Amino acid sequence: MTTEVGSETDVKKEPEKVPEAQHQTDPVQTDQPDKPADSDAQPVASAAQPEESRSAEPESPQEESSSPDPSSPPATGGQKKEKGISRFLPPWLKRQKSQSQDQASESAEQPQSLSPKEEEEESEPKAQPDGAGAAPNTEKTEEEKEEKQESRPEEVQLEENEKEEEKSVGSADTQPVREEKEAESEVKERKEEKKEEEQVIQQETSVLSPLRLNKKMKMVVCHVTLLDGSQFSCEVEKRAKGQYLFFEVCEHLNLIEKDYFGLSFKDNAEQRCWLDPTKEIKRQIRNSQWQFAFSVKFYPPDPSQLTEDITRYLLCLQLRQDIASGRLPCSFVTHALLGSYSLQAELGDYDPEEHRLDYISDLQFAPNQTKELEEKVVELHKSHRGMTPAQADAQFLENAKKLSMYGVDLHHAKDSEGVDIMLGVCANGLLIYKDRLRINRFAWPKILKISYKRSNFYIKIRPGEAEQFESTVGFKLPNHRAAKRVWKVCVEHHTFFRLMSPENPTKSKFLTLGSKFRYSGRTQAQTRQASSLIDRPAPYFQRTSSKRISRSLDGAPMVNVSDYSHAVDSALTAGAGENGPALDLNSDSKSKLRVQGENIYVRHSNLMLESTEVKPEVNGQPEFIEVVEETVVIEEVIKAKPRSPAPETPVTVETEVKEDRSLSSDSESEEEEAEYHAQTPSASISVQQIEEEPEEEQELIQQAPPSVVELQPITEAEPADSAPSAEEEQATAQPEEEECTDKDDAPNGHAPAAEAPPPLRAVEEEPPVVNGSVSRVEAELLPQVICCSEPPVVKTEMVTISDTFAAQKTEISTKEVPIVHTETKTITYEAAQLDGNGDGEPGVLMTAQTITSESLCTTTTTHITKTLKGGLSETRIEKRIVITGDSDIDHDQALAQAIKEAKEQHPDMSVTRVVVHKETELAEDED
Amino acid sequence: MMSAFGRFTHAVVRAVPRSLATEALRTGSLGELDLPRAQQEHELYVSVLKQRLGLEVLELPADEALPDCVFVEDAAVVCGDTALITRPGAESRRNETVAMKDALTKLGLNIVEMTDESATLDGGDVLFTGREFFVGLSKRTNQRGAEILADAFKDYAVSMVPVQGYLHLKSFCSMAGPDLIAIGSSEAAQKALKIMQQMSDHKYDKLTVPDDLAANCIYMNLPGKGDVLLHCTPEEFPESVKVFEKLKDHMLIPVSNHEKVKVDGALTCCSVLVCKSSV
C-alpha cells in the first residue's frame, strides 16, 4: 500500500513543505531543521512533511535558512528547517545514504544544493521499511508497507545499508523496526548529521508524504523555558513529535552535543516528565499546556570530556538551578566556591569599583542564601582573577561533579515495609536513600531486569557469589505513573551510560503487551564519538544572565556548516562500522541463550507471570481489582518469491485485541507494566565497557536469554496469553489453548508468590527465536508449548538480599500470596491454508521487525518477519492489538475492525489466523 | 571545597587521665592497663604528630571525670572547614565534647552540634575516604546520628555499614592512602568492606592486613613529607606490619598502641586531625 504511495510522495511532499515552512517561520529559523525530524515522528502525514522540508532545504542554500524563509518560495520556505539540517548533514553522509539506498545517493548530496525531492523519491522505497515505525497511528499501515517493501529482494539490501547507516548515526539499531524509530531519531541527528537524516527522511517522506499532502497542519505554539530562564517559543505541528521541538530548541541554542539534554513538561499531577522524542508531543502532554523546559537529562560524569564550551555552559546553568533549588545539596563552602566561579564566568574579574557587595544580591547561589555566604562568594571571586569564563565554568563543573547527588534523579518511594525511601537513578545505577543516607546501591551490572507493574517498581538482582538465584527487589511508588516514570528513567540511564548503542526493542521483544519503551537516542559513548569530531569554531554565546532576553531573541550565530557536517559524517561512519558487528552478536547470543538457557527462561517467565498475575503486595493494602482482558491476534503471512513480483502468498495477520479492564485507579495509564532487561555493554558491542569482572560474560549469556524471555513476560499474565497465541499461530494453534487454560489455572497458587510466578509459558520464550537465525517455524513446532501446560511449577526464587543490611528492608515479602481469579477465553480463527506452508522447513531469517504504536487505550504491536525458505521468501505480519479500557468496549466489533483493517492494508495477503484472547481477572490488589 | 586527602595542619589531642586504667569502658579483656606505660605511649604518639610531622598540636588537659577522654576522635568529626560535634553513644562520654567544641571553635571551624537527643554518633564509626563517608551502625552510633552527619557534610554521600563484633567501624579499617582502605582479615571486616564496596560508586583499593586491629592506621599527606602512615608496631602485629611495609612510597612510622588497645583505643582514636586551609 504505502510503498506505492511512497514513491510518489516526493511530489506531494513539496507542497506540504511549503505550508510547513510558513508555519515554521518562527522567530528562530535555525530550528527548523529539527522540525522535520519531529514531523517524522508525527503521524504519517506530518512526518513526511518535515522530511520533505528537509529535502527541500538542501536545495536552498543553508545560508538562506538563516534568512527568513518568507522570502523564499514555498519550497524554500521549507529551507528554514532545511538550513539547520543541511548544515549538519555532511556530504559524506549523504553519499553513504545514497549508496545504501542505491539511488538515494543523489538525495544525500541534495541537502546542500540538489533537489531533495527526486532523491527522496528514489530512496524512499528503500527507506520506507525503516521509517515506518515513526508514526504511531499510521504505523500499522506504514509497517505493512514496509513489510511489502522488505519482501522485495532489493529492499533487503537497502535495509542492510540503512542499518549500517543507522549504526553510524549512533542509534545503532540494526533491526528494521529500530531503524524506523532510529530513523526518526536520526532525522533529528541528521539535522546535524545529514546522512542519517536524509535516509530517514526519505524513507519517512516516501511513506508519509502521500498522506500529508492534503492535510492542513494545525500549528501549536510551544513555550520552552531555557536554562538561563529565558523563554523560547516556536510553532510546531499539532502532531509533531517531541524530537522536532527538541531540535528546534537545540538549533536555537546552537547546541551540538545535545544528547545530554531533553525537554520536560509537567503532567496534570504537576510531575515533571521527559518528553519522548519519538512520540507525538500532543499525546504525551495530554491536556497540559504546551509548556516545556529544556534541561539536562543525563549529567555527564566527567564534564571535562565534553567537547564544546557551550555544552559545559549549559550544564553549568542546569547545575546552578539544581543548587539554588536545593535539588543538589552542598555545603556552605561549596556553595561559596561554586558561586564564585559562576560570578567569574558571568562577570569576569572582580572589579572593586563595579562590584559592590550588592552586585551579587540578585544572584542565587544557595537555597538559603545568607549575607555570610555572599561575602564568602565575593571573597573567592576575587581569587579567580584572570580566569576566563570557560575556565571558570570548567572549574565549576570539576567541583560540582564531585557532589554526591550530582546527576542523581530522585524519586519518592516506599520499601516493602512501607518505609519512605528515595530511589536515585544515576549514571552508575540505582541508589536507595533513606532520608539523607544511602542505604543501598545497585550498580547497573548487578541489575538483570527492571520492570514495573501498576505502582510497583522492581529490579531483579544478579545473584551474588554464593547465591543461586536472582533476587527481586520491589519498591512501591506513589502511583502507576510514578512507577512507569522511574522505570523509564532507569531504562534510559542504563542505555545511555552503560551501553555502546541503544538496544533494539524489536529484537528483544516479540509480542509484548507492556511498554515497549526504549531509549532510542544516542548513548554517551556514541555522543562522545560524534562530538569528538566536531570541528567548528567555538560558537559565540553570551553568558551574562542579565542579557538573557536579548540572547534568546538574537539567536546564536550560525555554525560553520561544512566543517560541522564533515565531522559528523566521519563520526557517523566510524560508528556504523562498530555497531554493525555488535548487533549481530546480540542476535546470536540471544539465540544461543535461548537454546541453552531454558531454565533461566522458565525462571524469568515465572517472575514475569508473577508480576502480572500475582500482584505483588509490596506494601500492599489489598484491593479488589477486576481486570478484563481481551486479546485478538491476527497473523498475516505473506509469502513471496524472492525478487519476483511477489506473487501473493498466504498472509497471516495476527491481530491481538486485548482488553484490559481494571477497576483500579491505574486504569488510565496506557501500560500497566513493562520490563526492561539490562544488557551488558559487551553484548551490545564494545569491549571497552565490559567490566572487569568475569561474571559479566556469563551475565551476557544469561542476560540475553532473559531479555528475550523476560521481555515477553512483560506482557506477562495478560500478555502471556496473547503471546503464546501469536507464536502458536505461526506453528500450530493447538498448544495455545492449552496454554491459555493452564495459565488461567495457574495464576497464583504458589505461596512464594512474590518471586515464584505461575508456570512459565514456553510460548513467550519462543518469540525471541524469531530474531535469531532460527526460523520461527521450527521454534514453534518445538515442544516448548508443552511446558505451558505444566502445573504452575513455581521455581521459587527467594528474594534474599543478604549483602547489605539495607537491602533487607527492600525485600519483597513473599509470604502472602495475593489471590487472583482469572478467567480466560481464547478463540482462534484459522484459515485453512495456513501454516502448512512454512512450518516444515527451517528458513533463513532475513529480516524481522517490530513496530509498536500506542494510543491512550490501545497498543498495537506489529511484528514483521521475513524468512527465506527454499526459493520463497515469506513475510509474516503479526499484529497484536491490546485494547485497554472500561467494559464498554465491544470486543466483537474491535475484532471485526482489526480483521477488516488487516485485509485492507494487505489486500494481497490472507488472514490465516485470528486469536482472540479475553481475560477477566479478579484479583486482590494493593494500591 | 575538597582539599587533598590527608592534608592536615592541626591535631587535637587530650591527655590520659588516671581514671583510664580503672574506669575506662572496655569491650574485651586484654588485661590490665598499665597507666604509666599508657601515658608514655600517648606522649610518644603526640610527639610524632608534633615533632616528627610538624603538626600544630592542641593538647587538651585530661579530665578525671571522663576516663575515656583521651580518645578524642569520638567527640568530633572534622571534614574541611566543618566540625560536627558528636553525641557519643556512651552516656559517660557525652561531656567529652565540651572541651572538644571549644578547641575546634578556637581553630575557626564551623561548628555543627548534634542536639537531637535520639541521635548518637561516635567518631570512631565514621570513615571518611576523601570521597564519601561510611558510617558504622554500632552500639554507639545510630541511624539518626548518621543522618545528622549527612546533613552536616552535604557534599558527600553517607552510607551506612552495619558493624558487628567490634566497637567501631574503624576498629578494623581505616584509610591507608587516597582511595586505599586498610581492612582486617576477619569475616566481619571483610563483610563490612563488601558492603562499602557495594555502596560506593568509586572503586577503592584495599590493603588487607592479617590483624583487624592493625587495620587502624593514620594516613596523612603532608607538604614536604608526602604520604605518611602511622601504623602498628612489629611488636604488636608483626605480620600486619609486613603488609604495611609494602607501601614503598609511604613514610612509615610505627607507633605503639599496646596499652590503649586494652581499652579499645586505636591509633585514630587519639587525635582529631584538622586542615586549616587558606580557604
Q: Could you give the angle at the alpha carbon of A731 between the alpha carbons of A729 and A737, nearest 5°?
A: 55
| N- to C-terminal Cα separation, chain A | 46
Q: Which residues of A863-885 are buried (b: 16+ CB within 10 A; e: fewer)?
A: bbbbbbbeebbbbbbbbbbbbbb
Query: Which residue among B1, B80, B147 places its CB closest to the CB of A437?
Result: B147
Q: Residue A133 gets which letter from DSSP?
A: G
Which of A330, A441, A804 is facing B155, going by the closest CB pair? Answer: A330
Q: What is the pLDDT of residue A877?
A: 67
Nearest to B154 among A331, A435, A443 (CB): A331
Calpha distance A828→A654 (Å, rounded): 10
In SS3 terms, A3-58 reads as HHHHHHHHHHHHHHHHHHHHHHCCCCCCCCCHHHHHHHHCCHHHHHHHHHHHHHHH
User: A694-753, pLDDT tens digit by residue?
Assistant: 323 223 233 333 333 333 333 333 333 333 333 434 433 343 333 333 333 333 333 333
Q: What is the pLDDT of residue A637?
A: 37
Choice among A234-243, B107-116, B214-223 with the minimum mean pLDDT: A234-243
Question: What residues of chain A, 315 to 374, have a C-beta less than 8 Å from chain B?
Answer: 329-334, 337
Point out the residue among A329, A428, A438 whose CB comes nearest to the CB of B154.
Answer: A329
Scanning A421-450 for CB atoms below 8 A from B yields: 426, 428, 434-441, 443
Confidence bin at A860 (pLDDT 50/70/90):
low
- Angstroms from A338 CA to nearest CA on chain B: 9
**Residue whose C-alpha cell is 520492570:** A451
Average pLDDT over residues A424-439: 93
pLDDT digit string (tens) for A64-77?
443 444 433 444 33
- pLDDT tier at A231, thresholds 50, 70, 90: very high
Digit-coded pLDDT (tens) for A484-526: 999 999 999 998 998 877 766 544 444 444 566 777 778 887 8
Q: In terms of DSSP H, where are the helices of A60-193?
A: 62-66, 74-88, 91-101, 105-109, 116-131, 136-151, 153-169, 176-192
Work out the mean pLDDT of chain A and round it to a whole number.
57
Q: What is the DSSP letter of B4?
A: P
Q: Mean pLDDT, to the nearest integer, of A682-688? A: 36
Alpha-helical runs (H) found in A386-447? 389-400
Q: Residue A225 gets which letter from DSSP? A: E
Question: Rounded to a whole number, what is the distance in Å from the CA of B125 to chain A's nearest CA?
Answer: 15
Q: Is the pLDDT of residue B73 over 60?
A: yes
Phi, psi values for residue B26, rounded to 5° = -150, 145
How far is B172 from B27, CA to CA, in rounded Å? 14
Nearest-Cα residue of chain A relative to residue B131: A402
Q: How far apart are CA B210 and CA A134, in angstroms?
A: 62
- φ and ψ of A906, to 5 deg: -130, 75
Q: Between A910 and A119, name the one with better pLDDT.
A: A910
At residue A122 the predicted structure's pLDDT band, cuts being 50, 70 and 90, is very low
**Between B158, B199, B279, which is nearest A436 by CB?**
B158
Q: Per the residue annotation, which of B217, B269, B270, B275 is the catalytic one?
A: B269
Which of A239, A261, A238, A267 lies closest to A249 in space, CA to CA? Answer: A261
Residue B223, classified by CB atoms within 10 Å of its CB into exposed (0-12), middle (13-18) or buried (19+), is exposed
Q: What is the nearest CA distance from B63 to chain A, expressed in angstroms?
A: 34
Task: For chain A, positions 683-712, list CB contacts with chain B under 8 A.
Answer: none
Give the closest residue to B168 by CA, choosing from B65, B82, B86, B61. B86
- Are β-strands B110-113 and B82-85 bridged in parallel, bridged antiparallel, or unpaired? parallel
Q: Is B269 tagged catalytic?
A: yes
Share of chain A above pLDDT 70, in %: 34
| Cβ atoms of residues A584 and A501 within 8 Å | no
Cell of A401: 561533579
Residue A121 β-bridge partners: none
Whether A593 shows a pLDDT value over 80: the answer reads: no
Lateral strand order in the sheet of B226-231: B218-222, B226-231, B251-254
Partners of B189 in the β-ladder: none
**What is the Cα–Cα distance from B226 to A656, expressed in whole angstroms?**
71
pLDDT tens profile A276-302: 988 889 888 887 888 999 999 999 999
Q: Distance from CA of residue B254 to its chain's centroid?
A: 16
Rg (CA), chain A: 27
Write the pLDDT tens digit of every residue in B225-249.
999 999 999 999 999 999 999 999 9
Cell of A388: 576566563
Helix (H, G, I), strand (E, B) or coil at A80: helix
Cα dist from A700 to A18, A445, A663, B259, whole Å: 50, 10, 40, 54
**Which has the higher per-residue pLDDT, A269 or A209?**
A269
Q: Are A839 and A780 in contact (CB under 8 A)?
A: yes
Lowest pLDDT segment from A381-385, A619-623, A915-919, B134-138: A619-623
Sequence-distant (6+) residues with CB within 8 A of B177 are B6, B205, B207, B219, B227, B229, B247, B250
Residues A822, A802: Cα–Cα separation, whole Å: 35
Q: How far is B160 from chain A (nearest CA, A)?
A: 6
Q: Chain A to chain B, count of Cβ pairs less than 8 Å apart?
A: 80
**Chain A residues within 8 A of B81 when measuring between CB atoms:** 332-333
Distance, in angstroms, between A459 CA and closest chain B CA?
A: 16
Residue of A338, A398, A442, A804 to mutate for B, most B C-beta atoms under 10 A: A804
Which pLDDT belongs to residue A566? Answer: 36
Provide, as residue numbers in chain A, all residues whose Cβ is less than 8 Å from the Cβ of B111: none
pLDDT at A872: 61
The question of whether B42 is a catalytic residue gets the answer no
- What integer pLDDT is reported at residue A268 of this predicted model? 81
Q: Once rounded to an integer, what is the mean pLDDT over residues A599-604?
A: 27
Q: How far apart are CA A244 and CA B163, in angstroms?
A: 54
| CA-derived radius of gyration, chain B | 17
A441/B1 CB distance under 8 A: no
Contact in structure between A85 and A40 (CB atoms under 8 Å)? no
Reading the block at residue A603, the C-alpha cell is 525462571
Helices within A811-870 (DSSP H only): 836-839
| CA A82, chain centre distance (Å) | 25
Cβ contact A805–B162 (<8 Å): yes
pLDDT confidence of A103, banded at 50, 70, 90?
Answer: very low
Contact A334 B198 (CB under 8 A): no
Lowest mean pLDDT among A48-57, A764-773, B71-80: A764-773
Q: Which range is least confidently modeled, A312-316, A584-588, B79-83?
A: A584-588
Q: How confident is the model at residue A470 (pLDDT cuts 50, 70, 90)?
A: confident
Q: What is the pLDDT of residue A891?
A: 62
Q: Which among A333, A399, A404 has CB closest to B132?
A: A404
Q: Which of B168, B217, B270, B275 is catalytic?
A: B168
| Cβ–Cβ < 8 Å for A277, A245 | no
- Nearest chain B Cα to A301, which residue? B201
- Please count the residues of chain B: 279
More confident residue, B175 or A612: B175
Q: Cβ of B1 and A334 within 8 Å?
A: yes
**Probe site for chain A from B116, B199, B203, B278 (most A CB atoms < 10 A):** B199
Cβ–Cβ under 8 Å, residues A180 and A134: yes
Calculate mean pLDDT across residues A865-879.
62
Contact indicator for B168, B122 with CB cutoff of 8 Å: yes
Q: Which position has the higher pLDDT, A449 or A159?
A: A449
pLDDT at A394 over 50: yes
**A:381-410 residues touching chain B, CB 8 A cutoff:** 399, 402-405
Which residues on B lie below 8 Å from A803 (Cβ)? Answer: 194-195, 198
Task: Provide the pairing of β-strand A231-237 with B272-274.
Answer: unpaired
Say yes or no: ipTM exceeds 0.90. yes
Residue A343 has pLDDT above 60, yes or no: yes
* pLDDT for res A521: 78
Torsion angle of the four alpha carbons A558, A562, A566, A569, in this order, in degrees rounded to the nearest 10: 70
Interface test with B, best of A436, A440, A461, A467 (most B CBs within 10 A): A436
Nearest-by-CA chain B residue for A332: B154
> When comparing pLDDT for A848 and A52, which is higher?
A848
Q: What is the mean pLDDT of residues A617-637?
A: 30
- Å from B198 to nearest chain A CA? 6
Of A193, A304, A308, which is closest to residue A574 (Cα–Cα)?
Answer: A193
Distances (CA, A) of A323 to A295, A316, A410, B135: 14, 10, 14, 25
User: How far apart, in whole angstroms, are the C-alpha atoms of residue A388 and residue A393?
Assistant: 9
- Say whether B110 and A803 touch across the interface (CB within 8 A): no
Tell me how close the Cα of A523 comes to any Cα of chain B, in angstroms: 20
Partner-chain contact B154 A439, CB within 8 Å? no
Residues 83-112 of chain B whose Cβ lies under 8 A from any Cβ of chain A: 110
Contacts of B228 (CB under 8 A, 6+ apart): B6, B53, B219, B220, B221, B222, B250, B251, B253
CA of B149 vs chain A CAs: smallest distance (Å): 9
Half-sphere exposure of B207 (CA within 13 A, CB side): 25
pLDDT-derived band at A554 (thresholds 50, 70, 90) equals: very low
- Residue A696, SS3? helix
Is residue A709 a contact partner of residue A604, using CB atoms and an 8 Å limit?
yes
**CA dihedral (A294, A298, A299, A305) positive or negative:** negative
Give the CA distances from residue A315 to residues A296, A305, A393, A425, A426, in Å, rounded to whole numbers and listed in that order.
Answer: 7, 12, 9, 18, 16
**pLDDT score for A505:** 53
A622: pLDDT strictly greater than 80: no
pLDDT of residue B153: 95
Nearest CA-CA distance, residue B153 and chain A, Å? 6
Do residue A803 and residue B81 have CB atoms under 8 angstroms apart?
Answer: no
Residue range B101-127, pLDDT digits in tens: 999 999 999 999 999 999 999 999 999
Contact B82 A804 (CB under 8 A): no
Any CB–CB contact under 8 A between B279 and chain A?
A: yes
Count of CB atoms situated within 10 Å of the CB of B242: 12
Contact criterion met (CB < 8 Å) for A436 and B160: no
- Considering only CB atoms, A436 lies closest to which of B151, B198, B201, namely B151
- The B residues from 212 to 241 touching A (CB cutoff 8 Å) are none
Cβ contacts of A332 on chain B, cutoff 8 Å: 81-82, 110
- Give the residue among A659, A713, A816, A276 at the shortest CA–CA distance from A451: A713
Is the per-residue pLDDT at A767 higher than 60?
no
Question: What 3 state SS string does A325-381 have?
Answer: HCCCCCCHHHHHHHHHHHHHHHHCCCCCCCCCHHHHCCCCCCCCCCHHHHHHHHHHH
Q: How far apart are CA A89 and CA A82, in angstroms?
A: 10
Cβ atoms A137, A241 nearer than 8 A: no
* A684, A687, A689, A692 alpha-carbon torsion, rounded to 10°: 130
Instruction: Give me the pLDDT at residue A178, please.
Output: 41
A668: three-class secondary structure by DSSP? helix
